[in-house]
Structure 1
């Protein structure tokens, strides 16, 4: 039989104390860890300076079914520019697409969504939403030029962090300020992201012209050799070379919720592409009606002004 364990050995087994056990894990938020115990200002400053990954922004990029090939290439270009995005399968463009997209965003553990919706294989709409509580914006995308079409000379490192620049018009009205904040949160690559490179070698430019948001992507080009590096402050030698893609966003409506809800802003100058095509058909139909009227006027004129018989008409028939 085995020996019995001594009483002293059984007492020597260490019992974990409450102080040695792991502390309760703080609440995780989008901007960092929320400590429920310490709410002092100094602790908040320490959290900002801590080396942990703070910004948890993730963007879901998807499109509707029966999308045009040019618009699909534009979506893939946007995916290549955002290393913190997640691409998903196509979603049916119906009235219930909002609930479906919100569920997909939750399953993919994302906080924002870019949904490219194509209608009639001609018109492209872009939904930009903060999920699940909103707000969301619906844009009409026009003047689309993909990277494959432009063939520009610019080139930058894939996955590098961009510098976002906005024109001064974004501070003019409240809805432009809201759009600026949404663009800043969605297109800005989080610091220390696992798929992002720790370099700034390109610039995203958002400018407002004629109440439209124009997007451009430029490479920061620094002409120098490996032996002769550019000193700090030598910004006069830096140039911008366009990379692509290009597109224009026309805001239609801003909603209070995600893919719906109360309307916060409606563009009074927006004209739908269907109305533009209908006006163009009426214009073309007016041209045809003018031709028909001109023919009838010519016939009436010929009937009212008959020509006199020519005495030399049958001279050469013999």
Structure 2
């Protein structure tokens, strides 16, 4: 009966809005599917669990077996009635790539995740209510370029909890900050902490009365931010027009893959070893030509040698 009464009350409220001439606002239904690929590390799994706990409109699924046919995620999203996908792709058990997509039409943003720290590692004192809605705070630099505006919209749909979600609590007690610096997106999460304003007490040692302080209004509180975690950094790589496919509408030319960086470091170390090996071989050949090595024969005596001239 409670469900029937609730549906009837919604129907009546929508009718009253139509009679008043105001257009009813469409329900914002956002649901996110979160899953990982095979080969993720324990830290990656803990990061996904922390994000799943912070986002009450998310649904966590099992690991995906393939890393090449990512179009299967569109079918999974349709199966679970989700219109957002967050996919963690692990490479060589070292690199983590985050895919944020809007199935079935896109767009899709691929980013490299680094400097990640989970809630258990940070041990912050902050603590927010599970199921509460966050306040999304974006840097002003997101509105300066076209691709940053697209990324901001995708992040808003992914991390913004709609008020129509079933599992949310009617509270807003934490803030998620997205800061753009050095071409990377720095994500931090803070709890909104409220404390009562403390009235100033007069100094008892000095009999002189203290300076009059401004009176605090009744019920006035001091608001501060306490970090609760997790924290991580995202580097945009490409933006695809479709959902896990389609033409590339943006590509970060300055991004260098971590695999290429490791390959360059190994090549530099190999070059140093080759130089040392070549130097050692040159010294051996020179000593042999000079006859300084024992057991390799004597060098030929020249006719103008001092031992021949002054014998």
Aligned equivalent of 2:117, options 125, 145, 150: 145
C-alpha displacement of 1:231: 5.9
Contact 1:129 1:259 (8 Å CA) reproduced: yes
Contact 2:109 2:238 (8 Å CA) reproduced: yes
C-alpha displacement of 1:287: 2.8
C-alpha displacement of 1:41: 11
**Superposition CA RMSD, Å:** 3.1
Aligned to 2:155: 183
Aligned to 1:247: 232
C-alpha displacement of 1:284: 1.5
- Say how many residue pairs are matched: 264
Aligned equivalent of 2:31, options 49, 58, 66: 58
Aligned to 1:218: 190
Q: Work out whether 1:272 is the aligned partner of 2:272.
A: no
**Which residues in structure 2 correspond to 1:67-82 (within 5 Å)?**
67-82=40-55
Give the Cα separation in 1 of the matches to 2:53 and 2:99. Answer: 19
- State the secondary structure of the residue aligned to 1:144: strand
Q: Work out whether 1:111 is the aligned partner of 2:96.
A: no
Aligned to 1:86: 59
C-alpha displacement of 1:154: 1.6
Give the Cα separation in 2 of the matches to 1:234 and 1:165. Answer: 24
**Which residues in structure 2 correspond to 1:223-242 (within 5 Å)?**
223-224=195-196, 237-242=222-227
Aligned to 2:206: none
Specify every segment of 5 or more residues in structure 2 that has no aligned partner in the other structure, as ranges.
1-10, 198-215, 293-311
Contact 2:47 2:118 (8 Å CA) reproduced: yes
TM-score, normalised with respect to structure 2: 0.76
C-alpha displacement of 1:112: 0.6
Contact 1:82 1:187 (8 Å CA) reproduced: yes
Give the Cα separation in 1 of the matches to 2:217 and 2:112. Answer: 44
**Which residues in structure 2 correspond to 1:1-318 (within 5 Å)?**
42-44=21-23, 47-48=24-25, 54-98=27-71, 100-224=72-196, 237-296=222-281
Contact 1:93 1:117 (8 Å CA) reproduced: no
Distance 1:109-1:282 versus aligned 2 partners, 3 A rule: same
Distance 1:232-1:218 versus aligned 2 partners, 3 A rule: farther
Distance 1:267-1:39 versus aligned 2 partners, 3 A rule: farther
Give the Cα separation in 2 of the matches to 1:294 and 1:234. Answer: 77
Distance 1:212-1:305 versus aligned 2 partners, 3 A rule: farther
Give the Cα separation in 2 of the matches to 1:175 and 1:282. Answer: 35
- State the secondary structure of the residue aligned to 2:175: strand
C-alpha displacement of 1:181: 0.9
Between 1 and 2, higher relative CO (CA 8 Å, sep ≥ 6) is seen in 2
Distance 1:62-1:299 versus aligned 2 partners, 3 A rule: same
Specify every segment of 5 or more residues in structure 1 that has no aligned partner in the other structure, as ranges.
1-25, 27-32, 307-318
Q: Deviations over 1:226-261 (max 9, x none)?
A: xxxx969967x3221111111111111101110011
- State the secondary structure of the residue aligned to 1:257: coil
Give the Cα separation in 2 of the matches to 1:145 and 1:298. Answer: 51
